[in-house]
Amino acid sequence: MAKVEKRKFLGIVLFIFIIFLISLPFFAGSGGRSFRGSSNKVGVIRISGIIVSSNPYVKRIRKFAKERYIKAILIRVNSPGGAVAPSQEIYREILKAKKKKLVVVSMGSVAASGAYYISSGASYIFANPGTLTGSIGVIMEYMNMKNLMSWMKLKPVVIKSGKFKDTGSPYRNLAPQERKYLHGLIMNVYAQFVTDVYEARKEKGLKFSMLRKIADGRVFSGEEALKYHLVDNIGDFYDAVDFIKKETNMKGEPQLIYVRRKRSFLSDLLDNLTRVIIGESHEGFRESFFNQGYNLLYLWR
């Protein structure tokens, strides 16, 4: 009888241990992580892919900015940009964080358009010599399916409250007034981009006259961007880490803290289902969906 009880006890202990191991990834490095201990901690945030939402990045920036054990924030950017409003929201959160501690950007393969917008707000920017960056501009595009609809002998019916309500409809050509209206909208948002970059970079030697000259949508290599004062130095991720160590007078090696996105069973299940159904990750599906239709973008094409 004692042996049976012992086996039951060992079985319960083993079961609890297995549950602990399964649960560990959901808690390790999660948003509730404590950063107490050494003051050599650097909060690292990765911004990659098309920017469709600011929420996950803003949360991480805010968390690192208010955590006193985090000495600096290092943002690794590898993105062609994305939607206008999320780019602006991340940019403004970086400006807030910069008032509290050092914020350094390390550019990967590409940090263009909205991704450059975000980067410009940092205290210091590193780019690789071959990084593609810049692409300061705004783009709006949509598919004109007028001829296709005619070929299919389909005629869309639109009832609208004002003459501009269906501007950008894929079922007809733009009227001259509509094109003028959309161009004005784009130029307004473009002016916001240029102004914010200038305000963030003017103390780094960026001249407004030069910015207006080069802010025509073109991309630059990291070396060219340095010449135009769009970035501060040439170097990789670990050069940025060494810079932070020096600027914050750290004793010993910096400890890099990554906050992994908390995932649930349902989000994992959704990812797996979308991979099976459409052969893409859930994030990839969101990006594909985002690229359909009529959008105002800070995006390098």
CA–CA separation, 64 vs 46, rounded Å? Answer: 13
Report d(CA 185, CA 176) in Å as an integer.
14
Contacts of residue 259, defined as CB under 8 A and 6 or more positions apart, other chains included, come to 29, 30, 31, 33, 43, 45, 60, 63, 64
3-state secondary structure 30-72: CCCCCCCCCCCEEEEEEEECCECCCHHHHHHHHHHHHCCCEEE
Task: Please pick, among 54, 87, 106, 113, the residue that the annotation labels catalytic.
Answer: 113
User: Any bridge partners for residue 220, and if so which?
Assistant: 133
User: N- to C-terminal Cα distance for the chain?
Assistant: 73
List 165, 202, 213, 227, catalytic entry? 165
Coil, helix or strand for 220? strand
113 is catalytic: yes
Q: Give the residue from 111, 102, 49, 55 showing the smallest Cα distance to 74.
A: 102
Quote the DSSP letter at residue 156: -
* Residues with catalytic function: 113, 165
